[in-house]
Chain A
Amino acid sequence: MSNYHEEENLGKAYDSKLMGRLLSYAKPYWKIIALCIVLLIFIAGVELARPYFIQVAIDEHINVYDRPLYVYDEPVAEGGTEYNDRYFYTEKPDELYDSMAQLVRIEGEVYLLQEFLGNVDVPGTFESGNGDYLVFEDRQIPANRLDDEGIQAFRAEDINSLWRIGWIFLGLIISAFIMNYIQVYALNYASNKIIYNIRQQLFSHVEYMSLSFFDKNPVGRLVTRITNDTETLHQMYTEVLVSFFKDIFILIGVVIVMLTMSFRLALLTFLVLPVLLLSSYLFRLKVRDAYRQVRLKLARINSSLSENFTGMKTIQTFKREAQQFNKFNKTNEELLAANKREVFIFAIYRPSMEIIRSLGFAIIIWYGGGQVVQGNIQFGILFAFINYIKQFFQPINNLTEKYNVLQSSMASSERIFKLLDTHSSIQDTEDPKPLKSFKGEIEFKNVWFAYNDDEWVLKDVSFKISPGESIAFVGATGAGKSSIINLMARFYDIQEGEILIDGVNIKDLSITDLRENIGIVLQDVFMFAGDIKGNISLDNPNISREKIKEIAKYVNLHRFIEKLPNGYDEPVMERGSTLSSGQKQLLAFARALAFNPAVLVLDEATSNIDTETEELVQDAMQKIIKGKTTIAIAHRLSTIQSCDKIIVLHKGRIREMGNHNQLLSEKGLYYNLYELQYKDIR
C-alpha cells in the first residue's frame, strides 16, 4: 500500500541537482551518447530533406516554364535538344548563343516561344497563319506548339534529373535507415547499461545495510526502489533525453531551411510563433495541474481498493458494504472529474495547435501566393513551406508529452538517491584487526542494548564463554534471548558495554571475519528458491556434494532428502513447502555446519514439530552441542540439560546461572520455567 501513497508526492518536473546526478551515470557512456546525438543530427536532416527534394523537383525540373533556353545553330556541347535544326541548351556552354527561348504552358498545351520572357503572368493566345505565333496583349512572338514527341525531346534531361534526385533520395533513405537503427540500438545499449549500473549499485547498497535498516523499511518498498523506480529512469533515458535532442534539431533545422528558402516568407510565417509559444506555455501549466490531479486521485483509488480488499471481512461483518461503496464511488467520481478535466484540456490544447497551424498555412498562401504570382518565389518553395510547418509542430507536441515522463522520473530518482544516501549504521572500522585462528572465547561486559531509544532489551548483561563450552540461554518470551545472537553477530550495535571475542572488541573486527566464524541457526528457517543442496550450501562452490551429503547424514536430514523424487536436486519453492518445519530445522543445522564455523549459535524454533522429527532434531542438537563451542537459545528445556552452563534471562537481566541440576535445586525462575514445560499439555 505504501507505493500508492508515494505516488501522491509528485515533485517538480525538473530539478537540476537531481538531473546532474542522473547524468553522472551517463558519463562512462558519453561517447555512445555523443555518437547518437551526431547520428540524430543527420537523421533530422534526412527528415527535413523530403520537402526539399520535392521543392527542387518542382522548381528545377517539373515546373520549368520560366526557364531560359539558349539557342545555337550548331551542337556546341552534350545534352542539348535538337528541334527544327536548332539546338537548345538549358545551361549555356558559352556566351555565343544566337538567341534565347523558353517553354510556356497555356491551357494544357506546351509551346516553344522563340524569345525569353521569364515569368508569363498573362496567358497568350496561339495563332497559326503564315508562321505560328503566340499573341500577348501588345505583341506577338513566334512560337511552336510542341507535340508529345517534342515535349519529350525538350524534357528528357528533366526526367533524367528526377531520376537522379530519386537515386540520391534512395541513398539517403537507406543510410538514414541504417543510422537510425544504429542510433536506437546504441542509445538503448547505453541506457540499459546505465540502468544496469544503477540497479546493481542500489542492490549492493541495500544488501550491505544493517538489520536495523530492514526493521524500518518494508521489503516491498525496497523492492519497488530497486525494480520499478529504476525502470522509470530507463524511460527517461530512452524516451526523453535523446529524443529531446532530435526534437530540438528538427525545430532548428526547419527554421534554418525556411530562412534560406525565402527569408521574408519565413519571417512572416514565424509570426505564428509567439501565439504558439504563449498557448503551449499556458496550456502546459493547465496540463501539469490536470495530470497531477489525475495521478493523485488514481493513487487514492488504489489505496482505497487495497484497503477495502484487506479489510473486507470487517466490512462484511459490520454490513457496511453500501457505505464503503458510497465512499469508493465518491473517490471514483473525483477521479472521473479529474479525468474529464484532463480530457477537456487536451481536447482544447491539441485542436488549438490545429488552428495555429492553419494560421501558418494561411500566411504562407496569402503572402507566398502573391509572391509566386509576381514571380518572386517559385511555387515549389510555397509547397515546401506548407510541409515544413507541419513538421514544425510535431516536436512541439512531443516536448509537451515528454513532460510527464520527466516528472515521474524525477520523483523516482529522488527516492533512489535518498536510499543511496542512507548509510549502514554498522560499518567496519577503518583498519580492522585480523582474526587469527579464532579460539571461540566470547565475553559480554556490562552490555546495555535497546532496539528503540530507552526501551532496554538487555540491561547490564555480563557473561563469558570459554572455548569448547556449551552454553544455553533460557527465559520467557521477550526476555532478550534472541537479542544476544543479534549482538554477537553484530547485526546491531550495543549502546553501552563491550562484546569481546578472543579479547578483541567486535567493533574492531571486520564484519566478514566475525560472521564467518559464527554459525547461526535461525528460528525462522528461510528457504531460497532453488534446490535442496543449494539451500544447504547456499550455492557456495567450495562445498562439495559429498560434503553436503555427509552433513545431511550427520544432522539426520539425509533420510528425508532421499525420499524426495529428485533427492538433493529437488526444487524448493519460495517459502518452500517441500519440507516440513521439523525438516527445515534440520536443514538449518546442516546449513550452519556446512560453513564449519568455530562457534555455533542455535536459536531453537518455537513452532510445532511432529514427534518423530522432534526426536531427530533433539538428537541432532545433542550431537552438535557436544562437538563445538555452542550457544543455544532454547525453548524446550529438555534440549539443553546437558549444556555446561545455563543462563536464565528475565526482562533483559541475567537472573540465574549454572548447570541444570544446580539451577533446579535453587527452586528459582529456572525451576518455574522447567515446571511450566513439564506441565506441557498432553
Chain B
Amino acid sequence: MLANFKTLKYFFIEHKWAYILGVVWLIFVDVLQLLLPEILRTFTDDLQANLIGRAEIFRYGIYMLIIGFLLAFFRFLWRIYIIGTSKKLEFELRNKLFSHLLKLSTNYFNKSKTGDLMAHATNDINAVRMALGPGIVMVVDAVFITVIATFMMFFTTDVRLTLLALFPLPFLAFASGRFGKTINLRFRKVQESFSSLTETVQENLSGIRVVKTFVQEEKEVEKFAAKNQNVFNKQMHLVKIFGVFQPLIMAISSLSYLIVIVYGGTLVINRDISLGDFIAFNSYLALLIWPMMAAGWVVNILQRGSASMARINTILDVEPEIVDREDAVTIEKLRGDIHFDNTSFKFPDTDEYALKNFNLNIPAGSTIGVIGRTGSGKSTVASLLLHLFEAQEGEIRIDGIPIEKIKIESLRNHIGYVDQDSFLFSTTIADNIAFGVDEASQEEVERVAKIAQVHENILDFPEGYKTFVGERGVTLSGGQKQRISIARALIKDPQILILDDSLSAVDTDTEEKILGHLKKEMESKTSILIAHRISTIKDCDKIVVLDAGEILEEGTHEELLKNKNLYFELYEKQLLEEEITKED
C-alpha cells in the first residue's frame, strides 16, 4: 500500500522537517491532553483530603489555563506544519501531473477522455492529500493516545477496572472496521446507481428529438422514475447499515462509562481507588473514544489515498512517444525546403496506411496545395511535418536535415500551423492572437488580424481586442475562429505556414482577400495549403491530389484540369455548387 507513495519520496525528503516537527507538535498536544486527567486526579484527591486552600485552587485554575494555551499553541503548529505541508504537496503533485501531461504526445490526448484526466487531477490528488495530511494526523494521534492512555489507566488506576472498562472498546474498533467495509460496499452501490441515473439522463437528453418525435416523454419519465427509485432504494439500503453505525458507537462507548460508574464507583467505596482516580479514569476514557472511532476511518482514508496515488502513477509512468533525439540540433535560420522521401505512415493501433509512399519536394518560398476527400491523408501531411507523429517508413527532410534530428521546439517554432478545429482559449482575442509569442505589440496583433481579414469583426465586439472568447465573452462563428487562428499563426512570423482546411467556414470572397494578403506576407516563405475546396488552392505553385493516402495526381491548376481526373471532377462539382448557392 505504501509503495505507491514512492513517487513522492523526494517531497517527503524535502519537507521532512515539516512532517517531523508536525508530528512532534502533535505528540506535545497528546501529552498535554493526557496531563489533564492527572491534574484532575490530584485536584480531586487534594480536595477530598481537605489539603487545599484558596491559593492551591487558584493554582489549579492557572494550570488549566496554561494547558489550554499550550494546547492551542501546539494545535496551531501542527495544523500549519502538517496540514499546511499537505496543501503544498497537493500543489506540487498537481504541477507535476500537469507538466508531465504537457510532455505527452498529442496521440495520448486523442486516446484519453478529458473527464478522466480531470478526475485524476482533482479527485485523486485530493484523496492523496487527505491520506498524507489528515490521514497522518489521525494515525499518529490515534496510536499515541491509545497507547499512553491505556498505559496510564493500567498503571495509575486499577488493572481490573481498566480491563473491564476497555472491554467494549475493541468491539468499537472492530465494529468500525467491519461496518466500514460493508458501508463502503453499499456506498459503492449507491454511486453505481447514481451514475446509472446520470447515464440515463445523459442519454435521454441527447436523444430528446427522438423522444419528442415519438411522443415518448411519459414513458421516458417512467424509465427515469425507475432509475430514480433505484437510487432511493440503494440509499436506504446503505442507511440501514450506516444508520446503525453512529448509534452503535455511541452505545458501546456509553457502555464503557457505565462500567466505570458501577464498578469504578464500587472500587472507590471499597477504598481500592481514590475518587481522584475515578475522575481521572473517566477523563482518560473520554480521550480514548475518539481514536477507536477513527480507526476504521483512517484505514479507509489511507486506502483511498493509496489507490488514487496508484492511478496518478500510471499517468506519470507514461513515456512521451516523441522526444528529442540526443543528436537533435537547433536551427536558427530556416530556409524552408521540405522534402518528403517515400514516406509511409500508419496511425498507432491501425492497420491501414494513412499516407503511403508519399514523395513531395517543396522548395523554399513556394506554395503547395494539398487536396483530397475526407480521410485521404491530407492532414496527416501536416501532422508529420510538425513531428506530432513519426513516419514508420521513408524520410522527411527540412533544409536537408531529417526531421528527427531537429529539436522539436526549434522545428515547431519555425512552422505556423492553423488547425482544422481552430481551438481558442478562453482569454481575450488579443491574447489568443499573441498566443504563440512571448510579447506582441497591439500594432503587430492588429496587423496580422488585418491580413486574416478579422480586424473589422473584432472591432465590432463590445470590447474590441479585449473581448473574451467563450462563455465569459462572445461566441465566435466558425469563420471568425478560423481567421483568428490564422492571425495567431502569422504573428509568429513563421518560415513555413500550414493552413489545414482552415478556410472552410470562410466565404469565398473573404478567402480570396486572405489568400491575396498571404501571398505578400509569405513571399519568400513556404506555404502549404490543405483544403477540400478548389478555390483555396487553385493559385498554388503546385497542387497534390491525395486519394486514400497516395498521390493520385500533381501539377498546377491548369495541368490538373487537363488531366480530367479526380481534380477535374472536384472542380466541376464545386463550380456547380457555387452556381447554385449564388442564386437568390
With contact pairs A193-B232, A332-B95, A365-B57 given, residues A476 and B79 touching in the complex (Cβ less than 8 Å): no
> Size class of A's contact patch?
35 or more
Question: Interface-forming stretch among A68-76, A198-206, A613-621, A624-632?
Answer: A198-206
Q: Does B98 contact A (CB under 8 A)?
A: yes
Contacts of A539 in B (CB 8 A): 219, 223
Q: Do the beta carbons of B219 and A540 come within 8 Å of each other?
A: yes
Q: Do the beta carbons of B67 and A122 come within 8 Å of each other?
A: no
Q: Do the beta carbons of B576 and A336 come within 8 Å of each other?
A: no
Taken together as a complex, chains A and B put the C-alpha atoms of A38 and B469 apart, in Å, by: 55
Q: Does B152 contact A (CB under 8 A)?
A: no
CB distance from A524 to the nearest CB of B (A): 8
Taken together as a complex, chains A and B put the C-alpha atoms of A108 and B95 apart, in Å, by: 67
CB distance from A396 to the nearest CB of B (A): 16
Q: Do the beta carbons of B61 and A54 come within 8 Å of each other?
A: no
14 contacts between A and B (CB under 8 A): A120-B50, A123-B49, A166-B258, A173-B254, A180-B247, A305-B121, A328-B95, A352-B72, A361-B64, A361-B68, A362-B62, A522-B210, A539-B219, A681-B573
- Choose one: B53, B209, B569; the contact of A679 (CB below 8 Å): B569
Taken together as a complex, chains A and B put the C-alpha atoms of A309 and B238 apart, in Å, by: 37
Contacts of B239 in A (CB 8 A): 184-185, 188-189, 192
Q: Does B151 contact A (CB under 8 A)?
A: no
Q: Does B208 contact A (CB under 8 A)?
A: yes
Contacts of A682 in B (CB 8 A): 566, 569
- Choose one: A220, A369, A676; the contact of B60 (CB below 8 Å): A369
Nearest B residue to A540 by beta-carbon distance?
B219
With contact pairs A162-B265, A223-B201, A340-B87 given, residues A5 and B279 touching in the complex (Cβ less than 8 Å): no
Contacts of B199 in A (CB 8 A): 529, 574
Kindly list 14 other residue pairs between chains A and B, CB separation below 8 angstroms, not including A339-B87, A539-B219. Answer: A155-B269, A159-B269, A196-B232, A200-B224, A220-B202, A301-B122, A312-B101, A313-B106, A319-B413, A358-B69, A383-B279, A526-B206, A528-B207, A682-B566
Q: Do the beta carbons of B388 and A176 come within 8 Å of each other?
A: no
- How many residue pairs at the A-B interface have CB separations less than 8 Å? 391
With contact pairs A173-B258, A526-B206 given, residues A366 and B58 touching in the complex (Cβ less than 8 Å): yes
With contact pairs A316-B106, A325-B98, A673-B580 given, residues A184 and B247 touching in the complex (Cβ less than 8 Å): yes
CB distance from B78 to the nearest CB of A (A): 8
Q: Do the beta carbons of B409 and A319 come within 8 Å of each other?
A: yes
Q: Do the beta carbons of B118 and A162 come within 8 Å of each other?
A: no
- Choose one: A2, A199, A336, A489; the contact of B88 (CB below 8 Å): A336
Q: Does B181 contact A (CB under 8 A)?
A: no
Q: Does A346 contact B (CB under 8 A)?
A: yes
Q: Do the beta carbons of A317 and B417 come within 8 Å of each other?
A: yes
- Choose one: A163, A328, A366, A515; the contact of B212 (CB below 8 Å): A515
Nearest A residue to B275 by beta-carbon distance?
A63
- Choose one: A203, A332, A366, A591; the contact of B61 (CB below 8 Å): A366
Contacts of B44 in A (CB 8 A): 379, 383
Q: Do the beta carbons of B198 and A223 come within 8 Å of each other?
A: yes
**B-contact bits for A44-85, CB 8 A (1 contact / 0 none):** 000100100110011001110000000000000000000000
Contacts of B412 in A (CB 8 A): 316-319
CB distance from A227 to the nearest CB of B (A): 5
Q: Does B164 contact A (CB under 8 A)?
A: no
Chain B residues within 8 Å of chain A by Cβ, number: 140
CB distance from B197 to the nearest CB of A (A): 6
Contacts of A332 in B (CB 8 A): 91, 94-95, 98
Question: Which of A152, A207, A308, A372 has the most C-beta atoms of chain B within 10 angstroms of its own C-beta?
Answer: A207
Q: Do the beta carbons of A348 and B76 come within 8 Å of each other?
A: yes
With contact pairs A227-B198, A390-B286 given, residues A309 and B109 touching in the complex (Cβ less than 8 Å): yes
Nearest A residue to B224 by beta-carbon distance?
A203
Closest 10 CB pairs of A and B: A358-B68, A351-B72, A180-B247, A347-B79, A184-B243, A526-B207, A369-B57, A166-B262, A362-B61, A351-B75
Q: Does B244 contact A (CB under 8 A)?
A: yes
Q: Does B460 contact A (CB under 8 A)?
A: no
Q: Does A333 contact B (CB under 8 A)?
A: yes
Contacts of A529 in B (CB 8 A): 199, 203
- Choose one: A307, A323, A679; the contact of B426 (CB below 8 Å): A307
Taken together as a complex, chains A and B put the C-alpha atoms of A323 and B434 apart, in Å, by: 12
**A-contact bits for B373-389, CB 8 A (1 contact / 0 none):** 10000000000001010
Taken together as a complex, chains A and B put the C-alpha atoms of A166 and B80 apart, in Å, by: 44
Taken together as a complex, chains A and B put the C-alpha atoms of A159 and B248 apart, in Å, by: 28
Give chain B interface residues in 245-301, CB to chain A under 8 Å: 246-248, 250-251, 254-255, 257-258, 261-262, 265-266, 268-271, 275, 278-279, 282, 286
Q: Does B103 contact A (CB under 8 A)?
A: yes
Q: Does A466 contact B (CB under 8 A)?
A: no
Q: Does B14 contact A (CB under 8 A)?
A: no
Q: Do the beta carbons of A302 and B118 come within 8 Å of each other?
A: yes
Taken together as a complex, chains A and B put the C-alpha atoms of A580 and B367 apart, in Å, by: 40
Q: Do the beta carbons of A62 and B215 come within 8 Å of each other?
A: no
Q: Do the beta carbons of A165 and B261 come within 8 Å of each other?
A: yes
Q: Do the beta carbons of B271 and A110 come within 8 Å of each other?
A: yes
Interface of A is mostly: helix
Contacts of A343 in B (CB 8 A): 79-80, 83-84, 87
Taken together as a complex, chains A and B put the C-alpha atoms of A522 and B206 apart, in Å, by: 14
Contacts of A185 in B (CB 8 A): 236, 239-240, 243
Nearest A residue to B208 by beta-carbon distance?
A214
Q: Does A516 contact B (CB under 8 A)?
A: yes
Taken together as a complex, chains A and B put the C-alpha atoms of A117 and B84 apart, in Å, by: 60
Contacts of A432 in B (CB 8 A): none
Q: Do the beta carbons of A365 and B94 come within 8 Å of each other?
A: no
CB distance from B67 to the nearest CB of A (A): 6
**A-contact bits for B401-444, CB 8 A (1 contact / 0 none):** 00000001100110101010101011000000001101000000
Contacts of B417 in A (CB 8 A): 317-318
Question: Which of A108, A303, A355 has the most C-beta atoms of chain B within 10 angstroms of its own C-beta?
Answer: A355
Taken together as a complex, chains A and B put the C-alpha atoms of A220 and B114 apart, in Å, by: 14
Q: Does B28 contact A (CB under 8 A)?
A: no
Contacts of B570 in A (CB 8 A): 681
With contact pairs A365-B57, A676-B577 given, residues A315 and B261 touching in the complex (Cβ less than 8 Å): no
Contacts of B248 in A (CB 8 A): 177
Q: Does A151 contact B (CB under 8 A)?
A: yes
CB distance from A403 to the nearest CB of B (A): 19
Q: Do the beta carbons of B79 and A303 come within 8 Å of each other?
A: no
Contacts of B109 in A (CB 8 A): 309, 312-313
Contacts of B581 in A (CB 8 A): 476
Contacts of A361 in B (CB 8 A): 61, 64-65, 68
Contacts of B212 in A (CB 8 A): 211, 489, 491, 515
CB distance from A520 to the nearest CB of B (A): 4
CB distance from B448 to the nearest CB of A (A): 14
Q: Does A512 contact B (CB under 8 A)?
A: yes
Contacts of B48 in A (CB 8 A): 63, 105, 379
Q: Do the beta carbons of B64 and A219 come within 8 Å of each other?
A: no
Q: Do the beta carbons of A679 and B121 come within 8 Å of each other?
A: no
- Choose one: A121, A192, A372; the contact of B232 (CB below 8 Å): A192
Q: Does B327 contact A (CB under 8 A)?
A: no
Contacts of B71 in A (CB 8 A): 351, 354, 358
- Choose one: A177, A311, A318; the contact of B251 (CB below 8 Å): A177
Nearest B residue to A231 by beta-carbon distance?
B194
- Choose one: A123, A324, A538, A676; the contact of B576 (CB below 8 Å): A676
Give chain A interface residues in 249-288, CB to chain B under 8 Å: none
Nearest B residue to A344 by beta-carbon distance?
B80
Q: Do the beta carbons of A319 and B225 come within 8 Å of each other?
A: no
Q: Does A533 contact B (CB under 8 A)?
A: no
- Choose one: A110, A219, A372; the contact of B205 (CB below 8 Å): A219
Question: Which of B214, B386, B408 has the most C-beta atoms of chain A within 10 angstroms of its own C-beta?
Answer: B214
**B-contact bits for A99-143, CB 8 A (1 contact / 0 none):** 000000101101000000000111100000000000000000000
Q: Do the beta carbons of B213 and A520 come within 8 Å of each other?
A: yes
Q: Does A562 contact B (CB under 8 A)?
A: no
Q: Do the beta carbons of B269 and A158 come within 8 Å of each other?
A: yes
Contacts of A491 in B (CB 8 A): 209, 212
Nearest B residue to A390 by beta-carbon distance?
B286
